[in-house]
Each structure stands twice: as C-alpha cells, then as structure tokens.
Structure 1
Amino acid sequence: MAAWRSFLRAHARVTRSLEADLIAEQRLSLAAYDVLLQLAESPDYRLRMTELADAVLLSRSGVTRLVDRLERAGLVRRSRVDTDGRGVMAVLTGHGLERLRTATETHLTGVVRYFSSQLARYQLTVLGDTCEKLAEGKIPAPSGDVDPATITTADSGG
C-alpha cells in the first residue's frame, strides 16, 4: 500500500504543478492541453467526442463541457460525422494548433522540471516499463492464494 500511496501522491504533485504552469503561462488547463494534443495527434485533427473522452480519461459530459469552452475560445469546432447523423466530431482549428504549439513548450519544460530531472535514467526506464505494463493490463491476475482484504501495509512490501 505504501507504493500505491506514493504513486498517487507523486502523480497528484506532478499534475498539479504542470497544470499550475499551464494556467499561469498559457491560461490553459492541463485537461484542455490534453484535448488539443489528442486532436493534433489524430488523423485530420479530429476525433469523435466518445473517442476523445476515452483518450483524455474524462466522462462524456466532462469532455462535452470542456469542448464547449474550447469551441468558444476558437480552439476547436464541432462537426457532424458524415456516416452517422448522430455522431459529432471535435476538430482542432488552426488557432487551436497554434495555442497547442505555444503551450507545449511550457508543458515539456514542466515535465522535465517536475518529473524526468528528478529521476536517474535507469529509474525512468523501470518506471516507464512498469507503467506501460499497468496501462496495457499486462499484469497477471492474482492466483487466488491471497485475499486482498487481508493485505496490510507490512505484507505488501511496498
């Protein structure tokens, strides 16, 4: 449990710091930056709203509200899906791409400051490999020999 709690504290600290820098320097939240980045990395700078919600790990209503704000700022626009009358795409605008390019410098500076400069190269490699396994779901399921309710911090080894 100690490793889990440390992971959560570290994630919270780093993301709070990255967001504070983006807001102070770019007047852009970390979630808004992530939406712009996901759209920039997508074919034709567009994603269905449901795909965008999955990509940025926001609820559908959360991504809808965020896209509303980004649309009012001229950073994205909505477009109907040609093959599906109900489907809606979020599309990155030219202005949105420029804002993303400017904000990326702030974001990457923060990633170095709050994350990568704090760890040795081998630590980054191990952490990257571990997080990739967790993200891909490559960790095998428990064998059933251990009841999770009986694990204490001392038992968990972390």
Structure 2
Amino acid sequence: MGEARWLDEREALVWRGIIGVLHRVTAVMERRLVESAGLSGAEYTLLVPLSEAPDGLLRARELGRMVGWERSRVSHQVIRMEKRGLVAREECDEDARGSMVRLTDAGRAAIVAAAPAHVAAVRQHFFSALTDAELEVIGPALERVLDRLPDDDG
C-alpha cells in the first residue's frame, strides 16, 4: 500500500461539510419528528417504505435493504414498533424463514400525521439554504456518487 494521498483543502472542506450537514440535519429532523408526531427517526425511516408499499406490506429483508439497515437492526426496530401498534409481523408464505412487516392503521395514521411537518422541516433546514442553480448541480452530483458506491449487498 502506497503513501496516503490526503484530501486537498477544497476536498476537505466539501467532505467536512457533507458530514456536518448529515449529522446536524439528522439531529434536527429527529427532534422535529418527536416533537410533532411522537415518532423516532428510526420509526419514520421504516414507516415511509411501508406506507408506499402495496397493501403496506414488505418482506423484512426487503425493508432492511430499502433503508440500508442490517437484519438485526430491522428486527429490533420492528419489535419496538409492533409493541406500539405501528406495524404487525406476519409469516412469509414463500419462505418459512422470512417474515413480513405490515403497516397497521395506527402506523398509517402516524405517518400521515408526521409527513407534513417532516417535509416542512426538510424544506426549512435543507432546501431553503440552496438556490435553484445549486440544486441543479447537487442532485446529479449526488446521483453520480451513489451510482459509484457498492450497494448494501456488497
């Protein structure tokens, strides 16, 4: 392995900015979700894909893949959400080892209640700081970075 090629000043500034925005926006959004809807960020993270799925039903493994979580994290979070009545676990018809996660009426009501404040917070804390021209650059740039990264399966 060769000598490290350190980030130059511009690269370091951008990288620190990305890390800082990620941490601070996540913290602000977490607080807003709790205050406005009584949901944790983790709950909201799982409720979104479930609310968009046909019949509010996803295989647990697919749900984890969609949000970038490991199986154990999904399992623990689903157990907590099941206790709150937000989701229900079901057996998987195709594979006895797998499980399904279904959005309950209470879970749907929670995401419907939380979504408007969440979207408003995203606009306030992220998009309001950017110009239209910056959005035209950032969107495609982030897509290129994402396309070059390995997916969750390696």
**TM-score class normalised by the smaller sequence:** 0.7 to 0.9
CA RMSD of aligned residues (A): 1.3
- Partner residue in 2 for 1:126: 137
Secondary structure of the 2:39 match is coil
The equivalent of 1:61 in structure 2 is: 72
Amino acid at match of 2:66: A
Can you list the C-alpha shifts for 1:31-80, whole angstroms capped at 9, x where unaligned? 21010001111222111111111111222111111111111111100111
| 1:125 CA displacement | 2.0
- Counterpart Cα distance in 2 of 1:44 and 1:4: 40
Whichever residue aligns with residue 22 of structure 1, its letter is L
- Tell me the distance in 2 between the aligned counterparts of 1:115 and 1:62: 27
State how far apart, in whole Å, the 2-side matches of 1:134 and 1:108 are: 24
Structure 1 residue identity aligned to 2:69: L
- Structure 1: 5+ residue runs without aligned partners? 139-158
Instruction: Mark the runs of 5 or more structure 2 residues left unpaired by the alignment.
Output: 1-11, 150-154
Higher RCO (CA 8 Å, separation ≥ 6 residues): 1
Deviation >6 Å, runs of 4+: none
SS in 2 for 1:110: helix
Residue pair 1:39, 1:45 contacting (<8 A) in 2 also: yes
State the TM-score, normalized to the length of structure 2: 0.84
Query: 2 CA distance for matches of 1:98 and 1:135?
Result: 32
Rounded Cα–Cα distance in structure 1 between residues aligned with 2:97 and 2:13: 46
Taking only the aligned residue pairs, the percentage that are identical comes to 36
Q: What is the CA-CA distance between 1:87 and the residue it aligns to?
A: 1.1
Amino acid at match of 2:128: S
SS of the residue corresponding to residue 23 of structure 2 reads helix
Matching residue of 1:153: none
